[in-house]
Every structure is written in C-alpha cells, then in structure tokens.
Amino acid sequence: MFEVVPRDKISLRIIEQIRRSILSGKLVPGHRLSSEKELMVEFGVSKQTIREALRALEVLGFLEIRKGANGGAVVIEVSEQTARDSIANYLHFKNVSIQDLAETRRLTEPYLAKLAAERMTPEDIDELEEIYQAHRQALDRGEAIYGGENEIGFHTRIAEASDNPVLILIMDFVHSLFREIKLEIRPGLGFSWMVSAAHGRILDAIKAGDCGRAAAEKLRHIDEVEKELATLQALRGGNGG
C-alpha cells in the first residue's frame, strides 16, 4: 500500500502517506495498521522512524496507539477537540480581536437561530430550555459565568439543529475563543445577566417558530456582547486580541 520513502525528512513523508490514505478513504476508522516490523519493511526505514511517525499521527488525531495483545496503531476519527486545538494554535499568533470574533458570529449565528426556529422539535426545545434554566439558576446563586458549559451549550444546541458539522465546529470554536477573552476580562455578574436575558429572548423566538425574530435576537445579542466586552477591555488596557 505504501512506498519506500527518500531519506530526507523520512518521518514527514511517512506521515503524509498514511494521512493521505486515511483522507482518501483507503484507511477507515477502526482499521488497524500493520505491525511496526511490517511497516519498517514496507517503508524501508528503522523502528525509531516508524514510531516517530505514528506518534505524530496520534497527536494529529488520526491514530490511537493501543497497548496489549491486541494493540497497535488504529485509525480513528479526528475529534472536534483536536480540530479546535489545531485552529487555536494557528490563530494564537494572529492577534484575533473581539471584533474579529463578533464579525464571524454575525455571519453564522443569526442563520443558525433561524434554522433552529424552523427545525427544532419539542424535545429539542425542552433541552434548550433546560440549558437556559441551568444558566439562570447559577446566576441566582450569584455565580458570574464566563463561557461556562451552559452558556456555550445554549449556542451549541441551537447550532446542532442545522445538522451542519462545519457550522457547528465554527460556532463552537468561536465561542471557545470568546470564553478565553471573558476569563481574561472577567466582566462580572451584570454581564452574565445581560447574556441570560438575551438567551431568554432567543429561546422565546425559537419556541414561537419565529425565524425572523430568532435571527434578529441573535444578532442583537452578538452586538451587545461585542460592545460590552470591547468597552471593558479598553478600560482595562487590553489589546483587543
């Protein structure tokens, strides 16, 4: 299946061959790669080089190295967390601002709210209501929440109504970056109550099946969050990234 590789950058070439085989569908999740000895022969390289390549593919999320009698390198699906971390590593050096994230939200989330109002079943809406109420209960206890599970989960559940893995990943990733900004700024309980009120308006629109109002309330929420965080960041001497 694989080719003997030239001596320059050997492990990188092995990684790329295996990666291409996974992405092309030749190797599917659950497939167990050949043993180290067999891969050494197939690629014409040392055990150390094979292990280096397999470890790198594990870090990239393509493989799981299992131990024991039935161990070995097994192809797995790249997880959402791995994908998010890869993008985060790249954007870490790009000085992403609150405005950058808010702009991305404006381009995606009103549409996702519209779809949720169209598509969510009564059971879906019950789940969204539970997330919303859990957030409110935390605020009633005086807990300021900065991108916590229930806050982000509210938006994630709305996005899931799209059944679009690309939009869901983008939304989840953007909110994870916003969470880091909130943890740095720590906007306080008043901000969390503002967020909760916005979530309530969005939820009401989705319950009513009002697509236009759901999209408008999502946009209003995004604008409010951007304005509040940008103001607080400026007051506290942040650089916007």
Distance (Å, whole) CA 38 – CA 227: 59
Domains of the chain: 10-75 (1.10.10.10), 81-235 (1.20.120.530)
DSSP label of 32? B
Record the pTM.
Answer: 0.76
Rg (CA), the chain: 23
Q: From the CB of residue 192, how many other CB atoms can be counted at a distance below 10 Å?
A: 22
pLDDT per residue over 118-153, tens digit each? Answer: 999 999 999 999 999 999 998 999 887 666 677 889
Nearest to 166 by CA among 140, 117, 174: 174
Predicted confidence at residue 241, as pLDDT, reads: 42
DSSP-assigned beta bridge partners for residue 73: 65
DSSP run (H or E) holding 87 = helix 80-91
pLDDT per residue over 22-66, tens digit each? Answer: 999 999 999 999 999 999 999 999 999 999 999 999 999 999 999
